[in-house]
Structure 1
Amino acid sequence: MSPTSVFVSGANGFVAQHVIKLLLAKGYAVVGSVRSATKGDELKELVKSDKFSYEIISELGDKPGFDAALKKHPEVTGFMHIASPVGFTATDIEKELIRPAVDGTVNALKAITEYAPQINKVVITGSVVSVFGFGPHFDGNKVYTEDDWNPITYEESLSNPMFGYFVSKKFAELAALEFIEKEKPNFDTSFVIPCYVFGPQAYGVKNKKKLNLSNEIINTVVKLGKDDKIESFGSVFVDVRDVARAHLVAFENKRAVPKRLLLISEKFSLDSIAHIINEKFPDSSVPKGDISKDVELEKSIQKFDNSKTKEILGFDFIPLEKTVEDTVTQVL
């Protein structure tokens, strides 16, 4: 009997690479989808495993791409849908952000249902932006849990790319739930919902000048000089290695069906990141970081309770100190 094979969409992404690394380490074979042969070959070179192969799906909304990829791989019994558009510069919000996220998710589920009936487990990667309230919907007294939904409407989302991104994640998740409710497919589904994802790259850093969107927050602090001002900004984070582990739990553990796993380790601020860098790397040029400012800043950060998720996961999240140290070590 051949080992279980897992299809991972958006395979060259920051989170997906960690998921692939973990899957391979646990003996799974992996088929990843990438947008071009160049990206596929680059990833193959990084992964260095004969258990990894790739298929090209040039656009998320490309259903024939998913169809063809799954038809070619009857050995695949699991599917992790990690690909989704990220960006805050869209000019056509619906076309560039919302439709690709929603259509990409539904197309993947349709392709599985039609051409891969052997797949029995699907894990969909969402985002905390589908849970939290932001901007006019921010509520400093509310404690957000796995059961909450961001109240931003479709109409509001078209007003700016930030809201457009938030809604793209929310409606992609809702579209998946609607598909499951209506089609009653023969696969189980779990959702992994991370917040800002920090941490080292799975296979080293090629371009240290520009990291992925979340890690660029740490990189911005790394690049500051002693006399530079630290912007007052904070939110919640989770380590990418914990996100990868959570995908494996969602895939392997029946208790994760049909749950939303809310992945949040703790709060952070740019000052707390700078403070940790100074402690761990005393020769750095980063400003000291005034963590006394965090008390006031925390009023603008959402409160959360993800105890239900933690119980299912069965592991402790990596703390900010360790995440920052490991990320900066790799960048430096």
Structure 2
Amino acid sequence: MTAKENTVFVSGATGFIALHVVNDLLKAGYKVIGSGRSQEKNDGLLKKFNNHPNLSMEIVKDIAAPGAFDEIFQKHGKQIKVVLHTASPFHFDTTDFEKDLLIPAVNGTKSILEAIKKYAADTVEKVVVTSSVASLAAPANMGKNNETLTEKSWNTDTWESCQVNAVAAYCGSKKFAEQAAWDFLKENKSAVKFTLSTVNPGYVFGPQMFADSLKNGVNTSSSIVAQLVHSKAGEQFFNYSGAFIDVRDVSKAHLAAFEKPECAGERLVLSEDLFCSQDIVDILNEEFSQLKGKIAVGEPGSGPGFLEKTSCKLDNSKTKKLLGFKFYNFKDCIVDTASQMLEVQNEA
């Protein structure tokens, strides 16, 4: 598969991860068609990439609407070889979990696969769905220190049981959307020719593709870093914990997922290590003299002990072997994330 002859469709192209993916695809020489929710968002993205000749954008107002992607595949289906489905709702600002999280995630995934089946069954060869570590375990199990998650693990929550709060519902939405994709392929094996892979990242940190994106707020994972960068001395903070990965590695993994034949049919679990908020605070206080004494300190050095007690283990050695590249370490990832935030803040 040489990049020059291949067109890649990226749904939700204006998102935090997707912007890095679009950049990596263009650098590798692919033609890219992206989707965004409005003309304004699409124009903004094209401008950021200096109206790159290999990049075009289409509007999908609502990924949960029936036939949301039909028009795009009707129009471009015959040239699209690869589909990267990154669009999915990620926020906790809702009490109607079914309407705002579960249904859009599942329907968005189904409607893009249905559109491929209808209009591009012979052309699309690879589909990569952006899933999450959330589809490996329910929040309650993420906190069990005697549990080890692998590429074979599945979140045990049901459609009903995940609706206890927004976090559980989000985790459920990732599980059910991913399962919908695997089920679709099983049921339509004879009607489509594509292979499927999923990319399952933990908390995604790292710099924004374009620093000025920070002026519109940050993605949900990065807001953990932003809150700590803007914390006050002596302040208490919530000690988030879980698997982490750098956005630049997530992007690289999306390309590897369709470029490497051995990644077909695999769930690629992206985690460099486990982290907690205390680890972030320790790095901020050590590495940024302008923050020292002005931001929260918590209990320096207590992160590893906290994780030992409150977090499950994660073994993604299979994924690391399949991908074959080294992930960013936590310190470099957090330093790059915070440096960009501080730079933008100083310009404001």
TM-score band, normalised by the shorter chain?
Answer: over 0.9
Q: Tell whether the 8 Å contact from 1:205 to 1:330 is kept in structure 2 after alignment.
A: no
User: Displacement, 1:296?
Assistant: 3.4
Alignment of 1:105-124 (within 5 A): 105-117=109-121, 118-124=123-129
Distance in structure 1 (CA, Å) of the matches to 2:96 and 2:299: 40
Quick one: structure 1 residues 54 and 209, their matched pair in 2 at CA, closer, same or farther if it must change by over 3 Å? closer
1:331 and 2:345 aligned:
no
Deviations for 1:165-190, whole angstroms, at most 9, x for unmatched residues?
11111111111111100110210110
User: Displacement, 1:137?
Assistant: 7.4
User: Displacement, 1:69?
Assistant: 0.6
Q: Identity over the aligned pairs, expressed in percent?
A: 39
Please report the RMSD computed on the Cα atoms of aligned residues, expressed in angstroms: 1.7
Alignment of 1:47-196 (within 5 A): 47-48=49-50, 49-73=52-76, 74-117=78-121, 118-135=123-140, 138-184=143-189, 185-196=192-203
- Aligned partner of 1:35 in structure 2 is 37
Deviations for 1:281-326, whole angstroms, at most 9, x for unmatched residues?
1122333453432243212112110000000010111011001111
Deviations for 1:194-215, whole angstroms, at most 9, x for unmatched residues?
0100000012233347311110
User: Displacement, 1:63?
Assistant: 4.0
Deviating above 4 A after TM superposition, structure 1's stretches of 4 or more consecutive aligned residues are none
Q: Tell whether the 8 Å contact from 1:132 to 1:302 is kept in structure 2 after alignment.
A: no
Q: Tell whether the 8 Å contact from 2:282 to 2:301 is kept in structure 1 after alignment.
A: no
User: Displacement, 1:43?
Assistant: 0.7
The 3-state SS of whatever aligns with 1:207 is helix
Give the letter aligned to residue 149 of structure 1: W
Q: How many residues align?
A: 332
Bigger shift: 201-210 or 312-321?
Answer: 201-210
The 3-state SS of whatever aligns with 1:165 is helix
Give the letter aligned to residue 190 of structure 1: S
The structure 2 residue matched to 1:294, chosen from 279, 287, 303, is: 303
User: Displacement, 1:108?
Assistant: 0.4
The 3-state SS of whatever aligns with 2:48 is helix
The 3-state SS of whatever aligns with 1:261 is strand
Bigger shift: 246-255 or 154-163?
Answer: 154-163
Deviations for 1:45-97, whole angstroms, at most 9, x for unmatched residues?
11221211111011112343311111211221110000001122322211211
The 3-state SS of whatever aligns with 1:94 is helix
User: Displacement, 1:230?
Assistant: 3.7
- After TM superposition, the score normalised by the length of structure 1 is 0.95
- After TM superposition, the score normalised by the length of structure 2 is 0.91
The structure 2 residue matched to 1:222, chosen from 223, 229, 233, is: 229
The structure 2 residue matched to 1:268, chosen from 275, 279, 287, is: 275
Distance in structure 2 (CA, Å) of the matches to 1:229 and 1:158: 29
Structure 1 residues without counterparts, runs of 5 or longer = none
Distance in structure 2 (CA, Å) of the matches to 1:136 and 1:214: 20
User: Displacement, 1:22?
Assistant: 0.3
Q: Tell whether the 8 Å contact from 1:123 to 1:250 is kept in structure 2 after alignment.
A: yes
Distance in structure 2 (CA, Å) of the matches to 1:214 and 1:121: 28
Q: Tell whether the 8 Å contact from 1:236 to 1:301 is kept in structure 2 after alignment.
A: no
Deviations for 1:122-175, whole angstroms, at most 9, x for unmatched residues?
000001111023226743201110000011111112332222111111111111
Quick one: structure 1 residues 137 and 193, their matched pair in 2 at CA, closer, same or farther if it must change by over 3 Å? closer
Give the letter aligned to residue 138 of structure 2: G
Bigger shift: 286-295 or 307-316?
Answer: 286-295
Bigger shift: 115-124 or 292-301?
Answer: 292-301
The 3-state SS of whatever aligns with 1:152 is coil
Distance in structure 1 (CA, Å) of the matches to 2:236 and 2:166: 27
Bigger shift: 59-68 or 32-41?
Answer: 59-68
Quick one: structure 1 residues 229 and 243, their matched pair in 2 at CA, closer, same or farther if it must change by over 3 Å? same
Alignment of 1:312-331 (within 5 A): 312-331=322-341
- Aligned partner of 1:250 in structure 2 is 257
Distance in structure 1 (CA, Å) of the matches to 2:64 and 2:237: 40
Q: Tell whether the 8 Å contact from 1:137 to 1:151 is kept in structure 2 after alignment.
A: no
